[in-house]
Structure 1
Amino acid sequence: MSKSHALLDKTVLVPRGKNQAKSFSQLVERYGGIPIEIPLLAFRPIEKNHRLEDCLEALHTYDWIIFTSNVTVDTFFSFCDRDTDELPKTAVIGKKTAEILQEKGIHPAFVPSAYVAEVFVEEFLPFVDAHTKVLLPKGNLAREYIAASLMEAGAQVDEVVIYETYLPEESRLKLARMLAKNELNILLFTSPSTVDHLMEVVKEYGLEEQLKKCIIGCIGPVSEKKLLEYGLTVHVAPDQYTVKDMIESTIAYLEGKG
């Protein structure tokens, strides 16, 4: 079988929202698969509060602002209408996040070599000392690792929640229905939150046995750890943390199995 048909007729869960799913789905289709878009994460900005207003008012006092995702970038700038030259230096996790910033005319001063928090911290620490002041906008389910690590190195880090993450009700129902009918062959996860939300549905509807029939893959060690905590077998976990590498690793797994 040619590589272009490696996923032939296999249904692949695409857990991203409409605005983010397109490139993921196109890759699945390129290899002959059938993308099933079920957003396991949706995002909504918080109500503006005093904490956020204080951070925005003091924006000029920060040395760095760290953006961990394109959702963080888009949400932050829905609250902040400052000129780009008034912003502190920016650091990002992820190529896509950097691209979104550049579209806004902002060139990140720091991008890590790998797009996970642990590598970010290791490579960013040389830029931090006891006088460094950092703003870290984030979602309500974000990890504490970056802030804790930078504060341990002496930096002052102000975390501010700017959006909430939730599982859309229509996704819950569609996911339960398709798993119950064994209509999903491959489940690919892009974050630990997508794993949590899927397992929430699995447990609610008693779909553990159906889950065992699926091939499971993920991006990044944190997502892999989350899957293992639920007792699931992780068939695919590429060394490079991109959707493309995850899909190609899935193909390699299928070819090896075949």
Structure 2
Amino acid sequence: MLKQKPLLDKKVLVPRGKDQAKSFSQLVERFGGIPVEIPLLAFRPIEKNQRLQDCLQALDTYDWLIFTSNVTVETFFSFLKNDAGSVLPKIAVIGKRTEEVLKEKGVQADFVPSTYVAEAFVEELLPIIESGSKVLIPKGNLAREYIATALTEAGAQVDEVVIYETYLPVENRLKLAQMIAERQLDILTFTSPSTVDHFMEVVKEHGLDEQLSNLIIGCIGPVTEKKLIEYGLTVHASPKEYTVNEMIKSTIAYLEMEES
């Protein structure tokens, strides 16, 4: 049984932006921790270009539209604002939050996988998608190509279109470097491979590898875990259910085990 405040006074890195960080930080606080909000990812829509314009105008010719994150949903619908009459194809989503944001837009997902990773998504979607089906995948500039490649190999016609850029704001880089250098963090949490890459860019730039040695690390998903291991970091908490809630619980379980 967990102690009432298992994260008591521990400073936990919350790597999400202001809009997404609130529930994450509240969870940390509920268990007695001190959330340190430093968004490791920021997003900005790309300038509307001919490629994007062509995909939006041909939206009714696609059989499937795939959203891999809530950011892709938000950004995609922002581009649709001036085209309210667009006919949407069937929609497949990865992630509980992605599905929720889609519902907030008044749209129901036609397919949601049992687990929220690309590999499981493809395995469960393939039997549903007919060979020759047209699929559109809006994505960020750093997104993996696994889904598009797998569907293409299975005979689908896949178009990928970059709709937003991922970056780490300068002020966040400086704040993160200072916090690590002054050993102001106890627990690091990572929600995607991109958060790991941006974090390690700062670590390498400022020569802070040594300051990471005693930190506890939790993450969401096997791809994020793999990325951490590639950097030579030890992952202490990586739950089977890929949610922030389970990551925090898994981190607490590790702490309890260490104490006992």
For the criterion TM > 0.5, the same-fold answer is: yes
- The offset of 1:85, in angstroms, is 7.1
Aligned to 1:40: 40
Deviations 1:132-152 (A, max 9, x none): 100000000000000000001
How far does residue 104 in structure 1 lie from its aligned partner after superposition? 1.1
Q: Which residue of 2 aligns with 1:223?
A: 224
In structure 2, the partner of 1:64 is 64
Q: 1:213 Cα shift?
A: 1.6
Whole-angstrom distance in 2 between the partners of 1:190 and 1:212:
20
Residue in 2 that maps onto 1:94: 95
Q: Does 1:248 align with 2:249?
A: yes
Matched letter for residue 29 of structure 2? E
Q: What is the CA–CA distance in structure 1 between the aligned matches of 2:86 and 2:173, rounded to whole Å?
A: 43
Identical amino acids, percent of aligned pairs: 73
SS for the counterpart of 1:21 is helix
Matches of 1:127 and 1:4, distance apart in 2: 46
Confirm or deny: 8 A CA contact 2:28 2:248 kept in the other structure. yes
Supply the AA of the counterpart residue of 2:220.
I
Matched with 1:125 is 126
What one-letter code is carried by the residue in structure 1 that aligns with 2:123? E
How far is the alpha carbon of 1:103 from its aligned partner?
1.1
SS at match of 2:4: helix
* Partners of 2:59 and 2:86 within 8 A in 1: no
Report the AA paired with residue 72 of structure 1. T
Separation in 2 of the partners of 1:44 and 1:74? Answer: 11
Q: Does the 8 Å contact 1:41/1:167 carry over to 2?
A: yes
Poorly superposed stretches of 4+, deviation over 6 Å: none
The match for 1:28 is 28
Matches within 5 A, 1:31-180: 31-81=31-81, 82-83=83-84, 86-180=87-181
1:99-119 Cα deviation digits (max 9, x unpaired): 111111100000000011111
CA distance in structure 2 between the aligned counterparts of 1:245 and 1:220, rounded to whole angstroms: 11
Instruction: Report the CA distance between 1:83 and its aligned residue.
Output: 4.2
Q: Return the alpha-carbon distance in structure 2 between the equivalents of residues 239 and 2 of structure 1.
A: 19
| Structure 1 range deviating more: 194-203 or 83-92 | 83-92
Distance across 2 between alignment mates of 1:10 and 1:67:
35
RMSD: 1.2
- What is the CA–CA distance in structure 1 between the aligned matches of 2:78 and 2:229, rounded to whole Å? 36
| Letter of the structure 2 residue corresponding to residue 201 of structure 1 | V
2:25 is equivalent to residue 11 of structure 1: no
Scaled by the length of structure 2, the TM-score of the pair is 0.97
Letter aligned with residue 169 of structure 1: V
In the alignment, is the contact (CA less than 8 A) between 1:4 and 1:30 conserved in 2?
no
Any idea what SS the aligned residue of 1:216 has?
strand
Taking the aligned partners of 2:154 and 2:233, their CA distance within structure 1 comes to 36
Per the TM alignment, residue 180 of structure 1 is displaced from its structure 2 partner at its CA by: 0.3
- The one-letter amino acid of 2:184's match is E
Check conservation: 2:177, 2:202, Cα contact below 8 A.
yes
> Structure 2 regions of 5+ residues with no counterpart?
none
Question: Structure 2: which amino acid aligns with 1:113?
Answer: S
Deviation at 1:128, TM superposition (A): 1.6
User: Contact 2:113–2:120 at 8 Å: present in 1 too?
Assistant: yes
The letter for the 1-side match of 2:41 is: L
